[in-house]
Amino acid sequence: MPELPEVEIVVRRLDSALRDATVESALAPGMKVMKTFDPPLEALVGKAVTGVRRTGKMPIVDFGDFSLLIHLMSAGRLRLFDKRASLKDRASRVLIRLEDGRELRLREFGTKQRAWAKLLPTEALAEDEAVARLGPEAWPAPPLEEFAALIDQPRHLHPLLRHQGDIAGIGRSWVDEILWEARLSPFKKGSELSAEEVERLHAALHVLGDAIEHYEKTIGEELPDKLPMPLQVHKHEGESCPRCGATIEAVYFSEHQTNYCPAEQTGGRVLKDRRLSRLLK
């Protein structure tokens, strides 16, 4: 799932490629994708793209006084194509056709239709519930005091950091990288952190900025289907920790997993696989 660094590089590339392009037509072949109906998508016809940006993990395409807010969920991808899609492309959810022949396409892979879009007057964007509920952006990191206050909750760091209402932009991949960078257990509670640990966690958010820099260097004008994510621990179970050499471990949940270095993050303890322990009960 695209997280803050991945969405950031996508919107940067789309912004430079799409600015001033004029919309010829706009369609939503995905039956359930549009969560708004007024203004209708057709209201974009004749309008020019004035910018592409993001808030948290959500891309926003601006067309003058209208904005298309997109939630990619886990399998949505936003890309620009030189040619128009066949309407038989079953992955298509939203197609913005441009007068110059190109097409901005929201596609979604897999069987579940979860990605969505809303066309809103730009002035109403900040009040939209999906935007209004977001906490501060994880990168650039909020000031330390603000971060310390939002992290001071009796909840495990792994879900806490991924909760967009507390801090926006972090998902299942980057949370593992941030906690590894900070040398903190995913199962430590926010309210249990010492002041020094809070500082370490706050400083560790730089991995998001580093990832954006990595993408800036490695990705050209054309966005690849799959971004080369510079992950060190996430999904690296069984491999050696790049920092200390201990074996990276994993805890599996029904839809995701967390990876960590036991030597540096959990005082040498290998955490129980909760899926396995539930089965054994």
Burial (CB < 10 A; 0-12, 13-18, 19+), residue 135, is middle
Question: Can residue 126 be called a binding residue for Zn ion (CB under 5 A)?
Answer: no
Whole-number minimum distance, CB 261 to Zn ion, in Å? 3
Question: How many residues of this chain bind Zn ion (CB under 5 A)?
Answer: 7
**Helix, strand or coil, per DSSP, at residue 245:** coil
Query: Which of 83, 82, 90 lies closest to 107, judged by CA?
Result: 90
What is the C-alpha to C-alpha distance for residues 116 and 94, in angstroms, rounded to an integer?
9
Looking at the Cβ atoms of 78 and 263, the one nearer to Zn ion is: 263
Query: Which of 107, 128, 130 lies closest to 2, judged by CA?
Result: 107
Whole-number minimum distance, CB 202 to Zn ion, in Å? 20
> Cα-flanking dihedrals φ and ψ of residue 24, to 5°?
-95, -40
127: tokens are 């009040």
Looking at the Cβ atoms of 139 and 180, the one nearer to Zn ion is: 180
Looking at the Cβ atoms of 69 and 182, the one nearer to Zn ion is: 182
Q: Which residue stretch of 53-61, 212-220, 255-263, 267-275 sits at the interface with Zn ion (rule: CB under 5 A)?
A: 255-263
Q: Which residue stretch of 67-75, 84-92, 185-193, 238-246 sits at the interface with Zn ion (rule: CB under 5 A)?
A: 238-246
What is the C-alpha to C-alpha distance for residues 66 and 120, in angstroms, rounded to an integer?
6
Looking at the Cβ atoms of 24 and 237, the one nearer to Zn ion is: 237
Q: Which of 132, 144, 244, 276 binds Zn ion (CB under 5 A)?
A: 244
CB–CB of 66/120 below 8 Å? Answer: yes
Question: Can residue 270 be called a binding residue for Zn ion (CB under 5 A)?
Answer: no
Looking at the Cβ atoms of 154 and 267, the one nearer to Zn ion is: 267
Q: Which of 11, 125, 241, 250 binds Zn ion (CB under 5 A)?
A: 241
48: tokens are 């020019």
**Helix, strand or coil, per DSSP, at residue 93:** strand
Q: Which of 136, 264, 271, 273 binds Zn ion (CB under 5 A)?
A: 264
Question: Can residue 243 be called a binding residue for Zn ion (CB under 5 A)?
Answer: yes
